[in-house]
């Protein structure tokens, strides 16, 4: 089995195309297990999304103050439930990273039971890592939006001064505006992936190397050097795949709405029936269920690849596969080597009943 794992892994630096190709092959091979593992948290998020949509739609249609407050509470509860669903997705995907890495290295089967067993083994650490990643991603996204807005404001000021000074140059302002907006958007996206990519490997470090939350964040930042292009390639691939899956689900729904006298392109939520609103949210969450494992496997492959590039992880893994794991050393003795995969925490043992050294109870 170890030789099979080595052949499947092919420990060599991966380009963006190799990364996407290997991710798709792993996704096809373990489709059922990954869908069963990722579906429950997405269902929780779907419930919150439906609550939010129904609440917002009802707020726009109601004229009663009592019902207005009720629908507002329903919408707020939907936001909270959707956030819980997002946290659950991050926790489950973080727990699945250990199962996927052990599959890549040792040929361990990928099953929903093993994924949730990994989640239970370090639930609180995964929860802390998920909260830290949410806060960090919000900060980096806000920074990217601020950079984009500042660039747009500077362009508007420069364009206004140019038009005032030379009214005949409006066509030049229009062409340069398209080019500038496109360049500013690409710059903000690149800045987002440059900063957010530092936390890309926090779940993998937490589960594979057995480190704490803050130590995992620092370790992830040190590993994630020069991975902006590959992260952007994975994002574009999953974005196109998600859009394709969403289109396959939304187009029949839109035709059904049109045949029933509903305009699916209206921007007024009060004119859309409840069944169409719920159908849109269900289609969106189904596409998330289908595409979330792709992003997880891509990050797990990137994590192994970063360690191969920067730390010679392939030599460490081959040594562990041929010679076995590094034996435990006495306390106070340190070694520059580390286990290929940190041992999972053992379940707590029940204390022996008092009255017997062997743990036997006295019967009188």
pLDDT in tens, 296-327: 778 878 887 777 777 766 666 666 666 655 55
| pLDDT recorded at residue 343 | 63
Number of structural domains in the chain: 1
pLDDT over 50 at 73, yes or no? yes
Report yes or no on 207 lying in a domain: yes
Question: How far is residue 106's CA from residue 7's CA, in Å, rounded to a whole number?
Answer: 11
Contacts 24+ apart (CB under 8 A), 147-150: 147/184, 147/187, 147/188, 147/191, 148/184, 148/185, 148/187, 148/188
pLDDT over 70 at 352, yes or no? no
Question: How far is residue 45's CA from residue 39's CA, in Å, rounded to a whole number?
Answer: 10
What band does 354 get if pLDDT is binned at 50, 70 and 90?
very low
The alpha carbon of residue 263 and the mean position of all alpha carbons in its chain are separated, in whole angstroms, by 34
Report yes or no on 6 lying in a domain: no
| pLDDT recorded at residue 8 | 44
Max mean pLDDT among 140-149, 171-180, 294-303 falls in: 140-149
For 101-124, what is the mean pLDDT? 83
Question: Which residue has 């939304």 as its token pair?
Answer: 250
Question: How far is residue 9's CA from residue 86's CA, in Å, rounded to a whole number?
Answer: 30
Q: Which domain does 101 fall in, by range?
A: 13-321
pLDDT over 70 at 174, yes or no? yes
pLDDT over 70 at 364, yes or no? no
| pLDDT recorded at residue 287 | 81
Report yes or no on 338 lying in a domain: no
Question: How far is residue 237's CA from residue 294's CA, in Å, rounded to a whole number?
Answer: 9
Report yes or no on 88 lying in a domain: yes
Q: What is the mean pLDDT of the chain?
A: 75
Report yes or no on 95 lying in a domain: yes
Q: Among 2-11, 14-23, 127-136, 268-277, which is the least confidently predicted range?
A: 2-11
For 179-198, what is the mean pLDDT? 84
What does pTM read for this prediction?
A: 0.71
Report yes or no on 301 lying in a domain: yes
Report yes or no on 354 lying in a domain: no
Express each pLDDT in 227-277 by its tens digit: 778 888 888 888 887 778 777 878 888 888 778 877 777 766 667 777 777
| pLDDT recorded at residue 357 | 32
Report yes or no on 222 lying in a domain: yes
346/31: higher pLDDT:
31
Q: 10 Å Cβ neighbour count for 329?
A: 9
- Tell me the C-alpha to C-alpha distance, in Å, between residue 4 and each of 26, 106, 161, 315, 321: 14, 8, 66, 17, 11
């Amino acid at each position: 089995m170890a030789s099979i794992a080595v052949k499947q892994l092919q420990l060599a630096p991966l380009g963006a195309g190799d990364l996407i190709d290997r991710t798709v092959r792993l996704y096809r091979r373990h489709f059922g297990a990954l869908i069963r593992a990722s579906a429950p948290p997405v269902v929780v998020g779907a419930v919150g999304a439906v609550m939010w949509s129904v609440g917002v739609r009802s707020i726009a249609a109601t004229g009663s103050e009592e019902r207005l407050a009720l629908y507002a509470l329903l919408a707020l509860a939907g936001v909270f439930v959707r956030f819980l669903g997002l946290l659950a997705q991050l926790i489950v995907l973080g727990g699945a990273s250990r199962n996927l890495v052990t599959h890549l290295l040792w040929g361990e089967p990928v099953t929903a039971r093993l994924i949730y067993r990994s989640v239970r083994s370090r639930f609180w650490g995964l929860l802390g890592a998920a909260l830290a990643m949410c806060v960090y991603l919000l900060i980096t996204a806000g920074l990217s939006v601020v950079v984009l807005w500042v660039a747009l404001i500077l362009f508007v000021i420069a364009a206004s001064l140019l038009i005032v000074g030379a009214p005949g140059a409006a066509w030049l302002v229009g062409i340069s505006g398209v080019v500038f907006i496109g360049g500013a958007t690409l710059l903000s996206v690149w800045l987002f992936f440059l900063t957010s990519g530092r936390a890309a490997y926090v779940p993998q470090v937490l589960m594979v190397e057995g480190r704490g939350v803050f130590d995992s964040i620092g370790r992830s930042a040190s590993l994630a050097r020069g991975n902006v292009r590959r992260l952007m390639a994975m994002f574009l691939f999953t974005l196109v795949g998600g859009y394709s899956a969403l289109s396959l689900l939304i187009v029949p729904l839109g035709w059904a709405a049109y045949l029933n006298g509903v305009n699916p392109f209206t921007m007024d939520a009060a004119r859309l029936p409840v069944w169409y609103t719920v159908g849109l949210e269900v289609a969106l969450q189904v596409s998330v269920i289908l595409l979330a494992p792709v992003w997880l496997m891509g990050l797990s492959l990137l994590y192994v690849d970063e360690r191969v590039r920067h730390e010679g992880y392939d030599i460490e893994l081959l040594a562990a596969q041929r010679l076995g794991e590094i034996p435990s050393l006495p306390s106070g003795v340190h070694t520059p080597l580390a286990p290929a995969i940190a041992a999972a925490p053992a379940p707590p043992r029940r204390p022996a009943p008092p009255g017997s050294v062997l743990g036997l109870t006295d019967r009188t």
